[in-house]
Structure 1
């Protein structure tokens, strides 16, 4: 049993806690992005257990070459801080560095080492491509040449921000699961407002499990994705109107979307295991972008990770069939696409931009209203 309550161990066996109180006066400081600040907080809260800070070189190179930490524990997305040569030298000399972001100073980085890395090899390993049209590859190639490894201590959370209303730590989620007497908890990762098909997929999992943990990803996304406020309010509205209160929970995960397809499916699973979930729904093209990954690559990669404790639940895409008069999928429905009520993200955005509502078999009217009421529902 991990630190804290829950029916599944934290990844690696122990839920990390790097929250502390320390004097930071007079320390050398370094500014990072809000998204990186979120991940430092995620490390501190144990969402990224067993990581206690930014990857050291041995772990980084093992993640890139094997999709595992140096101790062979599954890990697929490198959590790193990149800096230029001058800053790397300064940090190494200083030892302890005070990290700050838009909301102010928040953590101490205990610098253990600095090292260079191969951007092309990293991009290929994580994203399966070196095409700079891929947002993750573009980000990798734009990084500074040095990485800084070392543990962190988290000293100050951001002041109250409406976007953090639903943020929970693994200690909090595990206690909530225990209080609800849930033994089997199914996580659902999303970066979009819910389609009715997504709702049916979650409710199908509820027929054989105790609870569903809806965990929208809040953080930097690509142009054309929905903005965070719309995603949160859409799901809060859906759950309020259509979900059993004692069988569902909404909490936000504050981290940047990587669009790493199969590698990110493993990463998403690890984080949900740390929250205390026993299962995670992995659908068609999970965490994909464009045509970079085959539709079921994110499901197939789990065969390489039989030692993961959280169990994936593989679902084909759901849709409403006008012939079956039911929400169904290709495994249960014999009818052609002409009978299916489904819509691409591009077509959905076009409809909303034109002020038109999608079919009630595609999106609940209450969710449509949330989107329509927002002045700018999409990322520029």
Structure 2
């Protein structure tokens, strides 16, 4: 690609002239309209700003099928990832080729108009096998997300953009491909190596990417993903502040930091190739790829889903066609005797190495333990400490579940009083009956509504936990699915302590203070948990309490002993 052509290419986007915007806004009142979710908004933004060049809209069926089968568009251009707009059936049935569809953000603000070309129902199992290599959700989390989140119909068509999605955070780092390319040109950067990350970065990462950039003779474009966070991810405000501290440890004028709202597919080799093409569109000449790039289990102890090195091999094989070179990243490890980092491949048997896993880092932060400077930079550690304060300064949720009459409410009241006496954190009691009266009064006792009730409790508790308070929840919560959802909502912000009140049914019936069991046995009441509606015991509760022979004070003492052992109270 010549310099002149490159400049012309990067000046393009899919945003229309302001005169056309006025016309579209006037006409939009009669358009069919759709509010996009966060996943869809990520794709829309990267289409509009041309990060997804050469796409000019959401894929039509022919391109979609060709990408699944051959990793190419119908014109032969290498493109490994489907980029389609998924819609509910009710919307799909109203759409016809040639008609406009107004695309809006979650608040209803119109961002673009899609001129519909095709509407079809894809085979999502075939989609999963082609993109992820399996159609089994239990094998690959990307498959589960595809089946659970994606609507059953796809719409293809061209886009006219009115506005990019609005972002009020880190606006100076959210550069478009055209802006980024201009920055590289102004700085005289002929070779630029892109590096994508979704995690916080430490000393080993600096050595790894600095080594790769120097071998390629390239400057660095560190380009973190700030799309949707996963359940165990740091909030992106903390991540970005960590990245800003991280880049201060590089030579001056060598590194540029940017942010990209990319929806993570976790599709292994296809993912790596996809991200390389995107970085080419941002003006990079090189892209750094690890051996397990895009693997859903990268960064943890589980066996990788894709073969090691497959992502590097695929991108390397297509370098000439996609016009960007692949830099293979080498894992680095700290060698204590040498007091420096070495590639793992150069570590000799007699060398003593040291490392700290992500889980160990989090433990050290939570228990206020030392984090050595050979592992991370002081500025990064300070930012992490703001997100991961010691446990005794974190918020946490005590989630008490069990049959009616098992002692949940009594234990919750004792804990509430004891926590209030300590006067260390604000405390909120979310008892099952209180929540039903004030938060879920319109819900019945079907499985769906019971799950929704627990979901609401989980949301409120997550907000309390996030703000360093204590939430005490005491619903029956009979189903594992809703309890797991509550755990996932809360754990990114603090502690989650599940207490299973395992008091047997016959003891609960003897107590029967509300008379519900008697009514259920007589047939006067239906859907009573433990009688004609199931209770699914927790799989791995932190605490198991049977109040058959325990007083409320003794039960509370077991909880306090656990919280002290785990560092939540002192």
TM over 0.5: yes
Which residue among 192, 197, 206 is the counterpart of 1:199? 206
Q: CA RMSD in A?
A: 2.5
* Contact 1:56–1:150 (CA under 8 A) maintained in structure 2: yes
Structure 2 Cα separation of the partners of residues 79 and 15 of structure 1:
22
Query: CA offsets per residue over residues 132-158 of structure 1, 9 Å max, x none?
Result: 143211121122221000111110234
1:298 pairs with 2:311: yes
The change in CA–CA distance for 1:153 and 1:6 in structure 2 (over 3 A counts) is same
Which residue among 45, 65, 85 is the counterpart of 2:49? 45
1:125 pairs with 2:126: no
Query: CA offsets per residue over residues 190-225 of structure 1, 9 Å max, x none?
Result: 001112111112222343424100000111132212
* Contact 1:16–1:44 (CA under 8 A) maintained in structure 2: no
| Structure 1 partner of 2:327 | 313
Structure 2 Cα separation of the partners of residues 173 and 49 of structure 1:
15
1:105 pairs with 2:118: no
1:85 pairs with 2:96: no
The change in CA–CA distance for 1:346 and 1:5 in structure 2 (over 3 A counts) is farther
Structure 1 Cα separation of the partners of residues 169 and 235 of structure 2:
14
Query: CA offsets per residue over residues 41-61 of structure 1, 9 Å max, x none?
Result: 211111010111111101101
| Structure 1 partner of 2:567 | none
Greater RCO, 1 or 2 (C-alpha within 8 Å, sep 6+) = 1
1:18 pairs with 2:14: yes
1:361 pairs with 2:367: no
Q: How far has the Cα of 1:378 moved from its partner?
A: 7.8
| Structure 2 partner of 1:248 | 255
Unaligned runs of 5+ in 2: 298-303, 389-465, 467-489, 494-570
Structure 1 Cα separation of the partners of residues 354 and 312 of structure 2:
24
Which residue among 205, 208, 219 is the counterpart of 1:211? 219
| Structure 2 partner of 1:161 | 168
Deviation larger for 142-151 or 354-363 = 354-363
* Contact 1:282–1:315 (CA under 8 A) maintained in structure 2: yes
Which residue among 139, 151, 157 is the counterpart of 1:144? 151
* Contact 1:28–1:94 (CA under 8 A) maintained in structure 2: no
| Structure 1 partner of 2:283 | 276
Unaligned runs of 5+ in 1: none
1:235 pairs with 2:240: no
* Contact 1:166–1:252 (CA under 8 A) maintained in structure 2: yes
* Contact 1:64–1:125 (CA under 8 A) maintained in structure 2: yes
Query: CA offsets per residue over residues 262-302 of structure 1, 9 Å max, x none?
Result: 11100110100000000011113112122312232211222
Query: CA offsets per residue over residues 82-108 of structure 1, 9 Å max, x none?
Result: 112331121226711111112522111
Q: So what's the TM-score if we normalise by structure 1?
A: 0.91
Q: How far has the Cα of 1:360 moved from its partner?
A: 2.1
Structure 2 Cα separation of the partners of residues 260 and 215 of structure 1:
19
Residue 115 of structure 2 aligns to a residue whose secondary structure is: strand
Q: How far has the Cα of 1:354 moved from its partner?
A: 3.2
* Contact 1:38–1:254 (CA under 8 A) maintained in structure 2: yes
